[in-house]
A and B are shown apart, each in its own frame.
Chain A
């Protein structure tokens, strides 16, 4: 038998043996048999030294190729068997992955906080700063300074909570912060602030709660106009509610602004077609605003002959109800976790 025939026969045997091995241990045994110190191939390599130089070179090459082929074949088979063995073991650890995941314990901010911040962010980006005032407010700031004298019928509009401190009221709106912001600015221009905060009114029904949140806004400078008010508030509405809504401005009345206007936006329920929610008009009111009344400017230390400004106030709840699709104001403050935990998405709308 020529060496070539012999090598082919060996290779055929190795192939047959490795294919027949069913466990990594059997493979090891085959490896030893062929490639171990006394293995058939190892022995043949030792025998090479007995050959002539030319034969040694030729046979040596063949034998090395044979050895490499055997190593790969045995190695591959071993890897395959080990993987199969590991897989079989891991199958024992199978978990039913259709079981529900355990959610990480991450809390969330209240919807009104989230919407308040959303509104704040819009104005911060427009260069407004944030201002604050006390919740137990002096009546002067809450009423007189805002052009609501003691006997003015406007006081009929907002029934207030009074405290055991003389002349102190739970502020009925964030508007007193207008005066405080102007006083703080001490005549500097421009004044460009928003004032978010808690306010109180003696109302408790499906559409009113005695404690709620507003965001007040105030811009004071030379040459501020009603057109600027419209531009600014429209920009805010589009930013908050999406570019596909429309706005409408209607005359209204607030003692501390003149002219006073209310802003309506397209009804979310019917997209403006007219429905029960918007009483068929296609519009829902979202805020009150106006040009700062001369008397209010004076009370803030500004000369209304030279300076003009606009102010607005919007209810955070109303915006939250729209953004989250809530139809009952009272639910917001019952703090029922089943209710609160449904608003997982930060805003409640994917498009924002």
Chain B
């Protein structure tokens, strides 16, 4: 909301300067997004007197006007205006003046005559002054007066960001004036007496809940085309357009009092005004030119012929007033805020009226507004008479809540005495009754209990004046929940292993999942109102998102990538949505040049990460090579991972190169799995002593049939009762005419002695013997 300093200052004599006002507003909860000067561009414009006027020698429609300035100098200015005769006072903008539309005046030659500056029309100054070319100034100001001074000096306009609780009562200059008067301990502004409604039969009301108060006043006015200058200035400062007086007045009162008023053309209303719900299918052409179909959810103002206006939201074209209207039916009402709010949203009409009524208005304003309107009509010279008036409904008594200063002190942690708290509330317009209750002002719909009053006094005296304290509580150590600690451990371990954590959005789409050829099975959770089509479901797997991260990175630069994410995935399970944590690791398995040459990443490196993370995090996983891998995986290079309970919980392997290429990678290794709720393996505290005797190492090259898995060799060897076999590891692989050959390294290191050569020879022979039935032979 925009607020004008000058406007507020009309109601608060002695208001401190704008920067202090901004600070006070912030302290009281009115967030000041900006405070900008308004009207500075008028500074060079001054009042001059026309002393001489001749026709331009070379142009019929132009004249050369000589004007006398305040310093008695004379300037010849070329003008196309038909008015501005000797003796007239007009506004002169010298060269360098910035006009309302942003143009900066330069000295121009018009048909051979130099014109240093310009005489201005009202519209060139941003004002509406009726049908005249130059603005002939009728005021008593002396020649040389600055225009800025004639309109009351420049203003400061605050852009306020109103929280919903302040919007309930604060969307007006008077509300701000009351707040600031309270904040600065200045006298609280008093208003004009209320309007006394008559008993004329003008309107009918269907339901008092929808519209607790409905006032209607019929004014006879003298149409006129000029809105008072001061009002134009204030309205323009807060960004309002000047239309014509009868409308500008209601607009002014909206921002002045926070009370939206609607003016019907009384001559266009047929029969009695009815405040009622719309009938299904009823139509209304609203002032924004839209034909709207209404429902019983909408409250309308209607006459015998049907709806005239969407109550509290927007008027209709049929009864709209014009500059010529002489009979104004002014509506001043109080509507049920949520009803207006919903109509506003349903029809997407965010009018100023709806934004006021929908958030909350002051019922008292129903009585104050018609009187103010009458006074302003008078000031503008429009007023003729009041023909009739009627009020439906009655003002409710002010709400009361108990005054409990002790509770307020306890909530705030302050030692303010009862008097200070009471004084603060009174400054803000609350009353304290003889029986010790708090009387809540009519516009403070946001206040319902002591906690609200605590906020009132806190913001009045300043939250910054409350001394911070530190509460004490029994010293219980803070704890991370076990599952979360487990997931943090996994993240740390995977990161230590060389992977970078990424964070992808939870949203995806069936197309994005299909592109990765991931088939998660089951049903995805659907987002009913996605921001975009490709984000219309929640992911069931992290993998498609991670592949897209590979793609975006690779489209920018060719670098090895090692990424992971541990985050929730989502699934529909009948009536309930399920969330589970998934770990996904993705790595490009490609050779990259470098000096010294780095090892080419291998899918077994990724398996090594699985092995290490499994041990370090106590995951208790097992795995085996599978031929039944999901389709996006390489059929010959995939492990199936099982949870400690034995269910398949994920896979590790290579993505089919065809799919990897879709994401700009030649080869990709992936490890995707569900993460259990907590570590499954808890190692008992134990240690092994280091062996003092030197190890004996033997390498053995064997030819292994293609169908024999390495693991089966190791299992066979480990089943042997060999003394002190500490490890078996593949150290090289050859292939040739003989098929494939592995060089295996055996390390013997019993913990009680060093083996003799004969003992090791015997062990090696046993190893060869046990592998022989598998078709394994020593390589010659």
Contact = CB atoms under 8 A, between A and B. Distances in A.
Whether A associates with B in a native complex is: yes
Interface of A: 99, 102, 104-110, 112-113, 117, 120, 123-132, 134-136, 151, 153-154, 156-157, 161-165, 168, 170, 190, 192, 198, 200, 202, 204, 210-211, 219, 221, 223-228, 230-232, 234-235, 248-253, 255, 258-261, 279, 281, 291, 293-294, 308, 332-338, 340-341
A108 B495 contact: yes
3 shortest A-B CB distances, which residue pairs?
A: A225-B413, A227-B413, A251-B29
B458 A226 contact: yes
B293 interface: no
Contacts of B27: 250-251
B191 interface: no
B525 A136 contact: yes
Contacts of B525: 136, 163-165
Interface in B155-170: 163-167
Given A226-B463, A228-B470, A294 B449 contact: yes
Point out which of B452, B455, B491, B492 has the most chain A C-beta atoms below 10 A from its C-beta.
Answer: B455
A230 B468 contact: yes
B572 A129 contact: no
Interface stretch (B280-288, B304-312, B554-562): B554-562
Contacts of A204: 531
Interface string B268-310: 0000000000000000000000000000000000000000000
A228 B413 CA distance: 7
Contact of B164 (A153, A279, A333, A337): A153
B528 interface: yes
Q: How large, as a class, is the contact surface on chain B?
A: 35 or more
Nearest to B578: A136
B471 A228 contact: yes
Contacts of A164: 525-526, 528, 572
Nearest to A235: B470
A293 B459 CA distance: 17
Contacts of B452: 258
A165 B575 contact: yes
B706 interface: no
Point out which of B449, B469, B596 has the most chain A C-beta atoms below 10 A from its C-beta.
Answer: B469
A124 B480 contact: yes
A251 B28 contact: yes
Contacts of B468: 227-228, 230-231, 234
Interface in B447-494: 449, 451-452, 454-455, 458-459, 463-464, 466-471, 473-481, 484, 488, 491-492, 494
Nearest to A223: B410
B264 interface: no
A127 B471 CA distance: 12
Given A225-B469, A251-B459, A136 B570 contact: yes
B386 interface: no
A338 B549 CA distance: 12
B494 A107 contact: yes
Given A107-B498, A200-B506, A235-B470, A261 B559 contact: no
A250 B411 contact: no
B342 interface: yes
A170 B469 CA distance: 36
Given A107-B494, A211-B505, A251-B29, A232 B471 contact: yes
A132 B337 CA distance: 36
Nearest to A128: B478
A153 B342 CA distance: 9
A168 B411 contact: no
Contacts of B345: 156
Contacts of B504: 333, 335
B412 interface: yes
B553 A335 contact: yes
Given A226-B412, A250-B31, A336 B451 contact: no
Contact of A258 (B341, B455, B471, B478): B455
A134 B579 contact: yes
A202 B478 contact: no
A334 B552 contact: yes
B600 interface: no
Given A107-B498, A165-B572, A231-B469, 18 more contacts: A107-B562, A113-B491, A124-B479, A129-B478, A200-B506, A210-B507, A210-B531, A230-B468, A232-B470, A251-B28, A251-B29, A252-B29, A252-B31, A253-B164, A259-B454, A279-B34, A335-B503, A337-B559
A221 B474 CA distance: 11
Given A107-B501, A163-B527, A132 B481 contact: yes
Nearest to A120: B480
Contacts of A168: 577
Contacts of B498: 104-107
A123 B497 contact: no
A153 B478 contact: no
B622 interface: no
Contacts of B477: 127
A163 B34 CA distance: 38
Interface of B: 26-29, 31, 33-34, 163-167, 337-338, 341-342, 345, 358-359, 410-414, 449, 451-452, 454-455, 458-459, 463-464, 466-471, 473-481, 484, 488, 491-492, 494-507, 525-531, 535, 538, 549, 552-553, 556-557, 559, 561-564, 567-568, 570, 572, 575-577, 579, 594-596, 598
A192 B414 contact: no
A109 B495 contact: yes
A125 B476 CA distance: 10
Nearest to B480: A130
Contacts of B538: 136, 163
A135 B575 CA distance: 16
A22 B661 CA distance: 65
A25 to B, nearest CB: 35
A335 B527 contact: no
B501 A227 contact: no
A337 B553 contact: yes
Contacts of A192: 473, 476, 478
Nearest to B494: A107
Nearest to B570: A136
B528 A163 contact: yes
Contact of A106 (B34, B473, B495): B495
A129 B479 contact: yes
B478 A293 contact: no
A227 B466 contact: yes
Contacts of B166: 253
A276 B507 CA distance: 34
A64 to B, nearest CB: 42
A168 B527 CA distance: 10
A226 B466 contact: yes
A334 to B, nearest CB: 7
A128 B473 CA distance: 11
Contacts of A162: 527-529
Point out which of B471, B488, B491 has the most chain A C-beta atoms below 10 A from its C-beta.
Answer: B471
Given A127-B477, A219-B471, A279-B34, A170 B527 contact: yes
Contacts of B164: 153-154, 156-157, 253, 255
A249 B471 contact: no
Contacts of B562: 105, 107
A340 B471 contact: no
Contacts of A210: 505, 507, 531, 535
B421 to A, nearest CB: 14
B668 to A, nearest CB: 15
A259 B459 contact: yes
B96 to A, nearest CB: 27
B184 to A, nearest CB: 17
Contacts of B497: 107
B455 A251 contact: yes
Contact of A259 (B455, B531, B595, B596): B455
A258 B456 CA distance: 10
Nearest to A150: B338
A216 to B, nearest CB: 14
Nearest to B523: A164
Contacts of B449: 294
